Chain A
Amino acid sequence: MLEPIETISKRWVGSAVARKEDQALLTGQARFIDDLSPVPGIRFAAILRSPHPHARIGRIDLARALEVPGVRAIITGRDLLGMIGPLSSIVKAPLAYYPIAIDKARYVGEPVAVVVADTRYIAEDACDLIHVDYELLPAVTDPGSATMRDAPVIHENVGSNVISRRSFRYGNPDAAFAAADRAFEFSYSFPRYASTPMETFGVIAHFERAPDRYTVWSNFQGPFVVQPLIAGALRVPGHRLRLITPPSSGGSFGIKQAVLSYILLLAAVSRKTGVPVKWTEDRAEHLTAASASSDRLGTVAAAFARDGELTGLRFKNTASTGAYIRPPEPASLYRMHAASNGCYRVKNISIDNELVVTNCTPVGLNRGYGGPQFYFALERIMEIAARGLGMDPAELRRRNFVPVHAFPYQAPAGAVFDAGNYEAALSELLRIADYDELKRRREESRRGGRLFGIGMAAGVEPSGSNMAYVSLAQTAEDRRRADPKSGANASAVLAVDPSGQVTLRLCSCPNGQGHATVAAQIVADALGLHPDEIDVATEIDTATSAWSIASGNYSNRFAAIVVDAVAKCAEQVAQKIKLLAADALDASAEEIELREGYARVRGQSNKGLPFRKAAARAHWNPAGLPGSTSPGIHETSVVSPSILASPDDDDRIASAVTFGFVIDLAAVEIDRRTGAIRIDKYASVHDVGTQLNPKIVEGQVYGGFAHGLGAALFEELAYDDQGNFLSGTFADYLCPTAVEVPHIEIGHIETPSPANALGAKGMGDGSSMLTPAAITNAVADALGRDDIALPLNLGRVWAFANAHESTTGRRRSVSATRPARSTVSDALTGKGEVTLSAQVEEVWRRLLDPSELAAIIPGCRGLTQDGPDRYSAQVVIGVAGIRGTYHARVEIRDKAEGRSLRLIGSAVGPLGFGSGSGFVDLQPETDGRTRLAYRYEAQVGGKLAAVGQRMLGGVMRYLIAQFFHSLERRISPADHPSWRNWWLRLRRYERRGGEA
């Protein structure tokens, strides 16, 4: 809808234009990957995934699955060997990353086979019928344990789980620490989490012959540097892999980058099966195996002069890449590297990086990308230091900020901060948060015995990444041997058609940010049109789009770089229109202005030509065009900021083109008795340079905060100590909802960036990088202890609030590497007792008699003896309809004749697998009866562990009790108590703490 002509003379950039994208989204008209059916004859894929974190893959029996009507083919890793190669990586350790397990599965959820069938239902039915022989191997899921000498080795070819080590020194950190008046150290572990977009991954892959070529529709978001890598792995020239993105995206936050593995997998499956194949990831697959932020173990140390000047920083990082290294990793470890000084003017920095593989899903892009981990270290140590130095944390930061006159500021590790005024932002933050009043309320609360805390976090927000920064993972020598890399190409194509209508094509792959809206604002300003008159096509087709390796949606690059390409090609079109209009109006191009849909001679409002008529001349009358004007209007602009050069030999790099600034303050109150955190106030001040569209800026600020809040309070992709995955549904992986996200006070400081035509800085990561640190600082302040780990969920905060040991005060070194969860056993344990109406000898005999066991084990169908005291059986296990047939093995060990024995068992079935041991003790009673006491410990993995963790303990106890009730019924069929009475008796026994 066009606004009335008189209102459209304003400048569109900077105004809160309503989003172009929303009408289609809100009315259900938007088309996503799952809506597409671009070629006939599509079949549907389901992926069988490893339920084990680490297992050698033996025989895969497909016979029963292939018999299911509607199944077209089943492809395993070995079938694809030879057809595809591994995805290459900048880390040269010899570990091959294929999109499907070949010989070993190395994380829960790793693809093992792909079923192609007429429907997804049928494909899933067939998955259930595939039998895989797994040889289980010990697993390691946390980066610290993975580096231990006795840790299981995940990639034998590497020989260790450490796949890369690099050390960096900027300035003279050793001297700085030696000369420091005070130094502080903080060790921490940072969990893995993910930003869970509403839309999951989707791929439609189509292989065609003559020539051999792949076309793949996918909600891939870039960076398109991986397109050549996928083509390489598929062993076709780049132009034989055509990637097409759908018109709309249901969010990404970086996560969709990881769909590249499935593009490769499904493309190969399409070639192997000869049919186009569609795969849509489901939520369980997404949470289990899509991607994650990198979990990290770190130590940070900070050296200070007595007056609070920060003189040196030391970082030691052990970062997990998951089970493999998937490109563009290890970028998450190096994204913040060039800005390791944060927003401070400290010159002396040392960084020791260690990359390790673990039995977890490979990591990748996720909102904040390396920022949350980095700022958790830096901004926690600043707060710890402030307390140690007896300074206000706001004042300590202010004293160390890069000062306003120092921009552009060259950071020690190479980043160039384009523009900023950090002191002004801090002042604005303290104003909108009403800092003095908060401090007064903190005092008041504490006097009343309540737990109230204030915390801050500040940092720069790098945007528009230099494609070369990841090569810091290589030594300068290795880099010299490779082809040079640099820059961040962005492109835009602007066309005006013969009827004068304007269409902009972008390669920015938006995932909901509103690129089309903002790009239309920029073009509208340049051409004197209304943004509604500008159509923006954001679908990418690598066969027809003006893409380059840096294309895509990541590192806040739209407002940092893409807008520059848009502004430049809009200017080119404007120049052409002016030339055309000047010719028609008998004026010079310099005299023409484009306003309100017209090309007018400046100062002569009656002398003008409608925009569309001026444009039409380029199409309809090429012979009459002035001078050297080319026919048609089709302008392409490709830009790359010149500052983004290759890294130098001292490992310094201008890693990003703009550096915004974010500073957050959190005030919290904690209920000591429940562990509940109430966010009393949250304030956030941003410097995004020129705000291109304040409404979109506000949405991004809120979104970044919500993701940071989730990471701070709720979210963790958790594994137990055996490597079983525990967070397989949204009932287990908790994201904040509208109820949990409080109102926040938002402030802005605008220091325009010189890096692009519009003065904008990238934004979008925003508070997602800082909220985890800010909230932890506030909670630490409230609790008076610094050894706290994320996420700050109820049980953990309660434990912190009620543990007697405290590490506050003036201690130099603090460790927060041991999450409170370690106090909860990962094993399910229990015990019980029963008095049986038989002599000990009789009970003993029955327990060791296979035919008796078969009768006692509830649901036992056929028990066979495999050796002395070793049995296997088919057992139907379940409660309340959650039932399945399990293949169980039981072994009796540690027999003390007539006194005690140990049962070691395992079971594998459709819902997962378990193993455990039980100890059975027999005591004769004076009346000729036998008292049998048992205790057990069990571990459960697979689907039930991932989706039903909450119920497992109760269900396990129930099932084991049934076994012993069954034993009692067998021994005294006449007068055994009913199951119900027996169960109630057992409960009373448990309630008395096991003292019968």
Chain B
Amino acid sequence: MKPVAFDYYRPQAVPEVTALLSQKGDEAAILAGGMTLGPMLNLRVVRPRAVIDISRIEALKTISVTSKVVVTGAGVIQNHALSSDVIAMEIPLLAMALPWVGHFQTRNRGTLGGSVAHADPSAEIPLALVVCGGSVVLQSRRGQRRVPAREFFIGALVTQRQPDELITALEWPCSAPDAGHAFLEIAQRHGDFAIAAAACSLRVGKVDRIEELSLGIGGVEDRPVSIDVRRFLGHPAGEIAVELSEHAAISVTPMEDHSATADYRTALTKVLVERAVSSALEMARRRRDHL
């Protein structure tokens, strides 16, 4: 369990990284927190020629906020995000998702950008980003581009990132003050890869109808999926949790592996959506009535 020999780079700034990436392309692996890359290197599952350590680039560690969007640097440590007032206030869904990410110890090194770049189908941060309607900011020598999270994740471990690109930041639209959110998952043990996860954000109007709704499922397909819920807008909130749970269960095409059958994942989708929507609804009503 020792990695293959590789060249190690520790650039101080993003242009150095993109310069290296333009030379090395897919021969390079980017090291942020190392919580996934470390084991993969040791198991020799990945054998990069070069490892580019971005953990010392301060510019990637900032959390900034405008009136509409929170920008988290790709290198923001998960536990820092978890203790950030800005994130608690403006992106409650991310704040709810983070305690599910690995363990306290791994969150001390794992980063927001690293989780998005790795694109594990069960990962919580990508699911939160999809449900928030956020974007991934990619930088290369060719320029900068933004990819909506809903398009960014292609399959298990596969994303829109090109080999010469670095994820520099994630953009999270600020939550409305009267929105309700919930993040739930089922894993064998706390901190394990989710067998299924559900995230929900919604707003209800004065007459208790759904005004905004976003619902996503993780761990069930090979990437986090956003459920098409347009036809539920304007619906009365009363029965919405059960309706959405049935809708979500027929919308997903679940994977099957040795930890769970497709039927089990479908059943979990149903119960998690029902519970997440109920919980988000309760929060939304509370916040609406409080405003």
Report which of B2, B192, B258 forms a contact with A824, defined as CB distance below 8 A: B258
Q: With an 8 A cutoff between CB atoms, is B43 at the interface?
A: yes
Do B256 and A825 have beta carbons less than 8 Å apart? yes
Q: With an 8 A cutoff between CB atoms, is A635 at the interface?
A: no
Do A824 and B43 have beta carbons less than 8 Å apart? no
Contacts of B121 in A (CB 8 A): 951, 954
* Given A121-B2, A731-B193, A958-B156, residue A953 in contact with residue B256 (CB < 8 A): yes
Q: Which residue of B lies closest to A993 (CB)?
A: B253
Chain B interface bracket (under 10, 10 to 19, 20 to 34, 35 or more): 35 or more
- A825 and B260 CA atoms in complex are apart in Å by 10
Task: List CB contacts (< 8 Å) of B217-259 with chain A.
Answer: 222, 251, 253, 255-259
What mask results when residues 859 to 893 of chain A are scored 1 for a CB within 8 Å of chain B, else 0?
00000000000000000000111111000000000
Q: Which residue of B lies closest to A802 (CB)?
A: B267
A-B contact pairs, 30 of them (CB 8 A): A120-B2, A121-B3, A124-B2, A283-B1, A285-B1, A673-B271, A676-B186, A714-B189, A739-B190, A793-B259, A794-B188, A794-B195, A798-B264, A802-B267, A821-B258, A881-B26, A883-B47, A884-B47, A910-B47, A943-B44, A944-B45, A948-B45, A950-B122, A950-B193, A952-B257, A953-B257, A954-B121, A954-B157, A954-B222, A983-B154
A881-B29, A881-B48 given; name 4 further pairs at CB < 8 Å. Answer: A120-B2, A879-B155, A949-B259, A955-B156
Q: With an 8 A cutoff between CB atoms, is A533 at the interface?
A: no
Contacts of A943 in B (CB 8 A): 43-45
Do A284 and B43 have beta carbons less than 8 Å apart? yes
Contacts of A823 in B (CB 8 A): 261
- A705 and B271 CA atoms in complex are apart in Å by 31
Do A880 and B157 have beta carbons less than 8 Å apart? yes
Contacts of B268 in A (CB 8 A): 674
What mask results when residues 260 to 291 of chain B are scored 1 for a CB within 8 Å of chain A, else 0?
11001001101100000000000000000000
Q: With an 8 A cutoff between CB atoms, is B14 at the interface?
A: no
Q: With an 8 A cutoff between CB atoms, is A612 at the interface?
A: no
What mask results when residues 36 to 59 of chain B are scored 1 for a CB within 8 Å of chain A, else 0?
000110011111100000000000
Q: With an 8 A cutoff between CB atoms, is A816 at the interface?
A: no
* Given A125-B4, A802-B267, A983-B154, residue A729 in contact with residue B186 (CB < 8 A): no
Contacts of A736 in B (CB 8 A): 189
Q: With an 8 A cutoff between CB atoms, is B158 at the interface?
A: yes
Report which of B44, B46, B160, B259 forms a contact with A795, defined as CB distance below 8 A: B259
User: Using a Cβ cutoff of 8 Å, how many contacts connect chains A and B?
Assistant: 145
Report which of A284, A718, A739, A991 forms a contact with B258, defined as CB distance below 8 A: A718
* Given A795-B260, A823-B261, residue A880 in contact with residue B158 (CB < 8 A): yes
* Given A825-B256, A949-B258, residue A882 in contact with residue B158 (CB < 8 A): no
Q: With an 8 A cutoff between CB atoms, is B207 at the interface?
A: no
- A825 and B257 CA atoms in complex are apart in Å by 8
Q: Which residue of B lies closest to A824 (CB)?
A: B261
Q: Which residue of B lies closest to A881 (CB)?
A: B46
Nearest Cβ in chain B — how far from A711, in angstroms? 14
Do B156 and A879 have beta carbons less than 8 Å apart? yes
Rank and list the top 4 A-B pairs by shortest CB-CB distance, nearest first: A954-B156, A954-B222, A282-B1, A880-B157
Q: Which residue of A lies closest to B40 (CB)?
A: A882
Q: With an 8 A cutoff between CB atoms, is A921 at the interface?
A: no
Nearest Cβ in chain A — how far from B104, in angstroms? 10
Q: With an 8 A cutoff between CB atoms, is A90 at the interface?
A: no
What mask results when residues 364 to 376 of chain A are scored 1 for a CB within 8 Å of chain B, else 0?
0000000000000
Do A882 and B189 have beta carbons less than 8 Å apart? no
Q: With an 8 A cutoff between CB atoms, is A628 at the interface?
A: no
Contacts of B40 in A (CB 8 A): 881-882
Nearest Cβ in chain B — how far from A740, in angstroms? 5
Nearest Cβ in chain A — how far from B237, in angstroms? 22
Contacts of A798 in B (CB 8 A): 264, 267
Chain A interface bracket (under 10, 10 to 19, 20 to 34, 35 or more): 35 or more
Q: Which residue of A lies closest to B151 (CB)?
A: A980
* Given A673-B267, A737-B189, A882-B46, residue A991 in contact with residue B157 (CB < 8 A): no
Report which of A799, A880, A910, A980 forms a contact with B119, defined as CB distance below 8 A: A880
Nearest Cβ in chain A — how far from B159, in angstroms? 8
Q: With an 8 A cutoff between CB atoms, is A726 at the interface?
A: yes
Contacts of A731 in B (CB 8 A): 192-193
Do B2 and A911 have beta carbons less than 8 Å apart? no
- A674 and B118 CA atoms in complex are apart in Å by 28
Do A720 and B156 have beta carbons less than 8 Å apart? no
Nearest Cβ in chain B — how far from A678, in angstroms? 13
Do B195 and A795 have beta carbons less than 8 Å apart? yes
Nearest Cβ in chain A — how far from B150, in angstroms? 11
Do B253 and A284 have beta carbons less than 8 Å apart? no
Nearest Cβ in chain B — how far from A543, in angstroms? 33
Contacts of A795 in B (CB 8 A): 195, 259-261, 264
Nearest Cβ in chain A — how far from B207, in angstroms? 31
Report which of A128, A283, A951 forms a contact with B156, defined as CB distance below 8 A: A951
Do A957 and B222 have beta carbons less than 8 Å apart? yes
Nearest Cβ in chain A — how far from B269, in angstroms? 11
Q: With an 8 A cutoff between CB atoms, is A541 at the interface?
A: no
Nearest Cβ in chain B — how far from A187, in angstroms? 24
What mask results when residues 954 to 996 of chain A are scored 1 for a CB within 8 Å of chain B, else 0?
1101100000000000000000000010010001001100000
Contacts of B26 in A (CB 8 A): 881, 883
Q: With an 8 A cutoff between CB atoms, is A734 at the interface?
A: yes
Task: List CB contacts (< 8 Å) of A732-775 with chain B.
Answer: 734, 736-737, 739-740
- A95 and B158 CA atoms in complex are apart in Å by 48
Contacts of A740 in B (CB 8 A): 189-190
* Given A125-B5, A714-B189, A882-B46, residue A720 in contact with residue B258 (CB < 8 A): yes
Do B257 and A949 have beta carbons less than 8 Å apart? yes
- A825 and B270 CA atoms in complex are apart in Å by 23
Do A947 and B43 have beta carbons less than 8 Å apart? yes
Q: With an 8 A cutoff between CB atoms, is A826 at the interface?
A: yes
Q: Which residue of A lies closest to B271 (CB)?
A: A673
Contacts of B192 in A (CB 8 A): 731, 734
Nearest Cβ in chain A — how far from B133, in angstroms? 19
Task: List CB contacts (< 8 Å) of A814-865 with chain B.
Answer: 821, 823-826
Contacts of A121 in B (CB 8 A): 2-3, 5
